[in-house]
Amino acid sequence: MQQNQDGKMNRRDFTKVSAAAGFGILAGNAFAGKKNVDTLKVGLLGCGGRGTGATVNMLEGNENVLLVAMADLYQDRLDNARDKMKNHENAAVAQKYAVQDDHCFVGLDAYWQILNTDIDILIEGTPPYRRPKHIERAVLCRKHVFMEKPVAVDPEGIRKIMEASERARTLGLSIVAGTQRRHQQDYIETIKRIQDGKIGDVLALRCYWCSGLPWARERQEGWSDLEHRTRNWLNNCWTSGDSIVEQHVHNLDVCNWVMGTHPIRVLAVGGRTWKPPEEKYGDNFDHFACDFEYENGVHLLSVCRHWNGCTDRVSEAVVGSKRESNCVDMARKRENSVNPYVQEHVDLVKSIRGEGPYLNEGVQVAESTMTAIMGRMAAYTGQMQVWNKALQTDLGLVPDDLDFAKEYPCGPVPCPVKL
């Protein structure tokens, strides 16, 4: 597709996409009813722990798929992942590795290059700061998408993901997100029963991600600000969204799933209690507690924190008028339950091939990510946040002009109380 780097299409391509979009509107899913049994070519963008893991899951879970392209910001990450995939202990994975040197890309424009290849599916496993840009471009290039969560770090990014997802729908492109609980059988069965009224009316919800401190990387000699920010992405707000967005989004997503919608307002507290003011710990908080409210008046208490040596809890609970459920307790017991990290790729491929329901999880995961962002905004500012207003704010955290020669100072840690 002929496009410049600002994402502007020339007239001919615009006509092609518009024509396809028009057809999609008429047909719903352009692939619906039409089985695609051809080999699906997969490209991986973001060759770190989860991107590589997701690609393994895609290859082990599906027949007739090949990994043909890989891209990362850094050569060493790309090389490590290539090596891992090529020599994977599971022969079913290694046999589906078909990446040639001319289909490997490195740098800030690597996303552009991998999307210019003939891949059918993009596995997007980068940190969330540039995900909206990557997904917008992937849809313009007519790729199906598996994207990790969270899908953005700010409202500007959320709006981009929502627009790209709607566009994908009109083009019949499938999108699955890395909120794997949505593909986990015990969650699916239990939440169906909650929605069918088995625990009575839903009166309240609670969710938690309370665990110890995750990894933090010291700046190495010769690293620019951008290299440190991106290699230590978990610890800065503009690269990760802070922990409520990066991690707790999983639990908030389950609560939104139960409710079938997103909250409309939130009041929150948060802060940084014990993380020392060292560059490697960035500018993130280490705890948040939010009181979310849904349109029907039901409240959701959400608590997340990174404190070592304290009570750990990662779970969700729904309080019903008859009893409480932990969202997995009403599922049929099975000998071998399917790994949801694999199942999400099986479901994606079935959607693409027209062998299962059409899946487009873009808006749903954008809403769950926005729920977390809204909680963070409330905690950072001390101000109640309301959905429609928060979603429309101009808050864009990610610098437009990423450049290894520029400075991206760290911090400060937000302080809601003006002294």
Ligand X SMILES: NC(=O)c1ccc[n+]([C@@H]2O[C@H](COP(=O)([O-])OP(=O)(O)OC[C@H]3O[C@@H](n4cnc5c(N)ncnc54)[C@H](O)[C@@H]3O)[C@@H](O)[C@H]2O)c1
Neighbours of 365 (CB within 10 A): 27
Q: How many residues does the chain have?
A: 419
Q: Which is nearer to ligand X, 122 or 162 (CB)?
A: 122
Q: Which is nearer to ligand X, 211 or 230 (CB)?
A: 230
Q: Which is nearer to ligand X, 253 or 279 (CB)?
A: 253
**Minimum distance from residue 203 beta carbon to ligand X (Å):** 29
> Residue numbers of the site for ligand X (CB under 6 A)?
45-51, 72-74, 77, 108, 110-111, 125-128, 130, 148-149, 178, 180, 230, 246
Residue appearing with tokens 């499938």 = 174
Question: Pick from 183, 161, 168: which is nearest to 366 by CA?
Answer: 161
β 40-45/65-72 pair status: parallel
Beta bridge partners of residue 146, listed in sequence order: 123, 176
**Minimum distance from residue 105 beta carbon to ligand X (Å):** 9
Q: Which is nearer to ligand X, 286 or 344 (CB)?
A: 344
**Minimum distance from residue 295 beta carbon to ligand X (Å):** 28
**Minimum distance from residue 112 beta carbon to ligand X (Å):** 10
- The answer for residues whose C-beta is within 8 angstroms of residue 236's C-beta and 6 or more apart is 229, 282, 283, 284, 410
**Minimum distance from residue 81 beta carbon to ligand X (Å):** 7
Q: Which is nearer to ligand X, 245 or 268 (CB)?
A: 245
Cis peptide before 412 (omega within 30 of 0): yes
**Minimum distance from residue 77 beta carbon to ligand X (Å):** 3
Q: Where does residue 38 fall: left (phi above 0), alpha (psi -120 to 50 degrees), or beta otherwise?
A: beta
Q: Which is nearer to ligand X, 49 or 357 (CB)?
A: 49
Q: Which is nearer to ligand X, 3 or 113 (CB)?
A: 113
Q: Which is nearer to ligand X, 39 or 185 (CB)?
A: 185
Residue number of the CB atom closest to ligand X? 48
Q: Which is nearer to ligand X, 101 or 196 (CB)?
A: 101
